[in-house]
Amino acid sequence: MTELLRVNDLVTQFKTESGLVKAVDGLSYYIDEQEIIGLVGESGCGKSVSQLSVMQLINAPGEIVGGEVIFEGTNLLKYEANGPQMRSVRGAKIAMIFQEPMTSLNPVLTIGQQLTEMLVLHMKMNDEAARKRAIELMNLVGISGADRRIDDYPHHFSGGMRQRVMIAMGLSCNPKILIADEPTTALDVTTQAQLLEMMKDMVQRFRASLVIVTHNLGVVARYAQRIYIMYAGRIVESGTTKDIFGKPRHPYTIGLLKCIPRLDEEEGRKLVPIIGLPPNLINMPPTCAFLPRCSYKIEKCFKEPWPDLEPVHDNHFIRCYADTKEKASESTK
Amino acid sequence: MVEKATTIQEFVEAPPRVSEWRRFGRVFFQRKLVVFGLVVLSILIISAIFAPWLAPYDPYRGDLSDSLVQPSGKYLLGTDIQGRDTLSRLIYGSRTALLVGFVTTITATILGIVLGLVAGYFGGITNMVIMRAMDALMGFPMLLLALLIAAVLGSGIQNVIIALSVATLPGYARVMHGLTLSVRENDYVLAERAMGSSNMRTMVGHILPNTLPPMIVLVTLQLGSIILAEAGLSFLGIGIRPPGAAWGSMVNDGYRFLVTNPVLSFAPGLAIMLVVFAFNMVGDGLRDALDPRLRGIL
């Protein structure tokens, strides 16, 4: 498969009164065409900020200070943040849907007005064609009676239906990549499953790639082909879904998997939480950010700066000095 | 189960649609005072449009032999010192009041919306420059600033409009600025930008419509106070030039005869009061009908 998007050493900072917050600190990842990847991490680890940076949607006091976002051979960060070139990428080439379906639609415009706006803008459709396409899209995402409901306002829709509309909107201009920033967090579990399944189908139908940003390992386990685990603004482990769940190597990933129950495990395993809290991203030490919470730490960890991502296996990378291999296998017992 | 997950059941019965307009109308027309306000405003507008047909006499040229006549069958509201019919002047005065009121409000609102929207949306230095300028303007009492501008530019209806527009502009800009700041933070604005919308499109197409209901209410309420301010300026003699009919100058002309011919001052005074009251009532009614937070209470 060919590579579609590559992010290299992305750094996004926020200037606050108490100091410089490095929300994203040297993030690198890539997406192939028609691939589904998962970006997993806990709250505040920079997942959303990294995706907003790719779209250049960071507002002051935030600033993208380094790195590159290569999409179809060009560095998107070279474009002016609100210039016409960047705007023609947003929505048309890379689309994004957000966490809160309840507030992601403009309450004073009808669903139809919002769906057709982008079709007219990016696809240069006329109003009639755009309306027809909008109804088609609404049918595709499973909204019944789309020809009537297109003139409804967002408050006539439930949360799940609004997220369906958001997905329809995201895919309306046939983007190459759909970034779903915690798309199902605000919804109940049944709706979550329906939506994710629908989203997967839609992405396949439109031949787009999908980035699922989430803190829910269950979501990515089912849908993603590759997974990136993020901690304190960096990728700490990356690999195929099978590797991450079957042979996790970074202490953080191991910790994450130890604190959630699995259906396929033996009875009686205790769930072990990761002790401590995520670090404050202001004035981070050069050493590994996970060090204070790590149960595998070795002497080298305190002396050397955070290591680079090193391969442990084909396409499986970790950012760690400690040899977690034996301990990991013994701890899963 | 998962395969079928994407199909959802068709609703057997769609819930009945309650038209937004119908709901608006029900709340709006329910209160008697609002209806009264509407009636007063209708009379005002009709008299302003059809003034030449409604007025029994020429409002500018009087019959000097009929100077200071008490209300009678011939002159329903009597005449002033130059023998001009008060009722006719009152009817023509409604033109001045409405013209100044509407033109001033429209000018100040449009400018205020543009300035407030731009300042609030872009923030930073743009915001700083615009809003501090507005604050400086706001430092002057409205009528004093209008007096100052009218004194510099001279009297006349267009100068009154300019003076009052400048004086009321900061109020609109400030309200718009505040509204923009709060609307801008909504997720749908970010979602809109993520879809490739330009700043202009986001501002005009998505932020502006969300700020309109409070702005409409503000405009209606301000209309009354602008008519009041215009009357004040005319009363002080820097409003409409003498032969022209304005309620404020009519009150001024009449107050020397307050004891002998009270109707000369009372008639335009009452007209001002009624119109301002009517605008306030309609503005209030609009707020009640447009504010979703008051839904169900009223």
CB-count exposure of residue A281 (10 Å: 0-12, 13-18, 19+): buried
- Tens of pLDDT along chain B (298 residues)? 444 444 445 444 555 566 777 878 887 888 888 899 999 999 999 988 888 888 777 777 777 777 777 777 777 777 777 778 888 888 888 888 888 899 999 999 999 999 999 999 998 899 999 999 999 988 888 788 888 887 888 878 888 888 889 989 999 999 999 999 999 988 889 888 888 888 899 999 899 988 988 888 888 888 888 888 888 888 887 777 777 778 888 888 888 888 888 888 888 889 999 999 999 899 888 888 877 666 656 5
Task: Say how far apart CA A91 and CA B191 lie, in whole Å.
Answer: 10
- Among chain B residues, CA nearest to A191: B5
What pLDDT is recorded for position A306?
A: 84
Q: Is the pLDDT of residue A159 over 50?
A: yes
- Render pLDDT for B57-93 as a digit per residue (tens, 0 to 9): 777 777 777 777 777 777 777 777 777 888 888 888 8
Q: Are strands A177-181 and A94-97 parallel, antiparallel or unpaired?
A: parallel
B283 min Cα distance to partner chain A (Å): 21
Q: Judge: B14–A145 Cβ closer than 8 Å, yes or no.
A: yes
Q: Cβ of A104 under 8 Å from any chain B Cβ? A: yes
| C-alpha–C-alpha distance, residues A140 and B105, integer Å | 48
Interchain contact, B6 vs A95, CB within 8 Å: no
A333 or B64: which leads in pLDDT: B64
In degrees and rounded to multiples of 5, residue A202 shows phi and psi of: -65, -45
Residues with Cβ within 8 Å of B210's Cβ and at least 6 positions away in sequence, in order, are A106, A107, A108, B179, B183, B186
* Residues of each domain in chain A carrying CATH 3.40.50.300: 3-224
Q: Which residues in chain A have Cβ-Cβ distances shorter than 8 Å to B128?
A: none
Tens of pLDDT, residue by residue over B88-111, are 888 888 888 888 899 999 999 999
Q: Mean of the pLDDT values across residues A53-81?
A: 88
Q: Per residue in A263-291, pLDDT tens?
A: 777 777 888 888 888 888 887 888 888 88
At A37, the pLDDT band (50, 70, 90 cuts) reads: very high
Q: Note the pLDDT of residue B5.
A: 47
- φ and ψ of A259, to 5 deg: -100, 5
Which CATH topology does B31-52+82-290 take?
A: MetI-like fold (1.10.3720)
CA distance A174 to A270: 46
User: What is the model's pLDDT at position A62?
Assistant: 87
Tell whether the model's pLDDT for residue A315 goes beyond 90. Answer: no
Give the number of beta-carbon pairs within 8 Å between A and B. Answer: 88
Nearest to B8 among A99, A109, A144 (CB): A144
Give the residue extent of every domain in chain B: 31-52+82-290
Contact list, B14 vs chain A (CB under 8 Å): 145, 148
- Would you place residue A326 in the very low, low, confident or very high pLDDT band (cuts 50, 70, 90)? low
- pLDDT: is A135 or B24 the higher one? A135
ipTM topping 0.90? no
Best of B4, B193, B195, B208 to substitute, by most chain A Cβ atoms within 10 angstroms, is B195
- Supply the pLDDT for residue A266: 75
Residue B128, judged by CB atoms within 10 A of its CB (0-12, 13-18, 19+), counts as exposed
In CATH terms, is domain A3-224 a member of 3.40.50.300? yes
Distance CA B61, CA B84 (A): 6
Q: How high is the pLDDT of residue B295?
A: 61
- Cβ–Cβ of A96/B210 closer than 8 Å? no
Q: Does A285 touch chain B (CB under 8 A)?
A: no
Nearest CA in chain B to A190: B5
- Tokens linked to A195: 């939506």
Of A91, A99, A193, the CB nearest to B194: A91
B/e letters for B205-229, b = 16+ CB within 10 Å, e = fewer, are bbbbebbebbbebbbbbbbbbbbbb
Quick check: B187 and A98 CB within 8 A?
A: yes
**Per-residue pLDDT averaged across A68-96, rounded?**
89
Interface test with B, best of A58, A88, A104 (most B CBs within 10 A): A104
Looking at the partner chain, which of A55, A60, A144 has a beta carbon nearest the beta carbon of B10? A144
Q: Determine the average pLDDT of the residues in A302-317.
A: 84
Contact: B191, A104; criterion CB under 8 Å: yes
Looking at residue B1, its pLDDT comes to 45
Query: Where is pLDDT greater, at A132 or B3?
Result: A132
Does residue A194 belong to the interface with chain B, where contact is any CB pair within 8 Å? yes
Query: What pLDDT does A330 receive?
Result: 46
| E-only strand ranges, chain B | none
